[in-house]
Homo-oligomer: A and B are copies of this chain.
Amino acid sequence: MKNTTPSPAGTRDPELTRSRILQAATELFVEQGYSAVSMSQVAKAAEVTKSLIHHHFGSKERLWEAVKERAFEHYFVEQMAMGERVGEPDADFLRDSVTAYFRFLKDNPTVVRLFAWAHLEEDAACGEMDRSLVEAGAKWIRQAQQRGALRDDVNPTHVIASFVMTCTQWFEARSHHAHWPGIGDDEAFLEDYLKIFMEGMTPRQ
């Protein structure tokens, strides 16, 4: 049981150092992307030497990987937790899931931006990561379809893809549509989107 946070001014704490570096790197990478950030910038922001970063992470690229891995794991864990408390395969639960996903992205702009950077560098890791989540979600939707709770003439994976992508893009491309005439805030958009999406997923009589 060692003391971590106190740090008797001049003491060494490799774990805290690692996380300080990781934190500084995350903030910079999230904002500017991999290539625009220099090791010296990270070092300065984390208040350590450049060499120390190399000591702990090996290279700039591995630091970048560590940053992404940490954020995506956070995403994965949260989504898994969300998947745990799975409810009845009905329309209400679908609505709740979309809402929860939307709110998660809203509360985790870091994840949103890292996803965007990862997409641009064709990093397949994030897609592989939520494979199982999508699979589980699709299975759940199929159940709801068989039950007659959701329309059954659409591919369950496409259902997930469509709402995941809409939520993601809403936050990724904020700067794009933020000044569109008549656009509302997060909640107003979510409300309208849910109206369209849920109505679209309701089985015909």
Contacts and interface: CB of A to CB of B under 8 A. Distances in A.
Interface of A: 32-36, 113, 115-120, 122-124, 126-128, 130-131, 134-135, 138, 151, 153-162, 164-166, 168-170, 172-184, 188-189, 192-193, 195-202
Contacts of A158: 183-184, 188-189, 192-193
Q: How many copies does the complex hold?
A: 2
In this complex, the member of A113, A120, A195 whose beta carbon has the largest number of chain B beta carbons within 10 angstroms is: A120
A181 B181 CA distance: 38
Contacts of A162: 166, 189, 192-193, 196
A181 B134 contact: yes
A32 B130 CA distance: 25
A192 B116 CA distance: 24
B134 A161 contact: no
A173 to B, nearest CB: 5
Nearest to A199: B200
B200 A198 contact: yes
A160 B193 CA distance: 11
Nearest to A184: B155
B189 A200 contact: no
A184 to B, nearest CB: 6
A174 to B, nearest CB: 8
Contacts of A130: 180
Contact of A154 (B116, B120, B159, B196): B196
Contacts of A177: 127, 134, 161, 164-165
Contact of A173 (B156, B168, B181, B183): B168
Given A115-B176, A120-B113, A178-B127, A159 B33 contact: no
A202 to B, nearest CB: 8
A66 B95 CA distance: 43
11 contacts: A117-B120, A118-B176, A124-B178, A128-B179, A135-B181, A154-B195, A154-B196, A165-B170, A165-B173, A166-B169, A196-B200
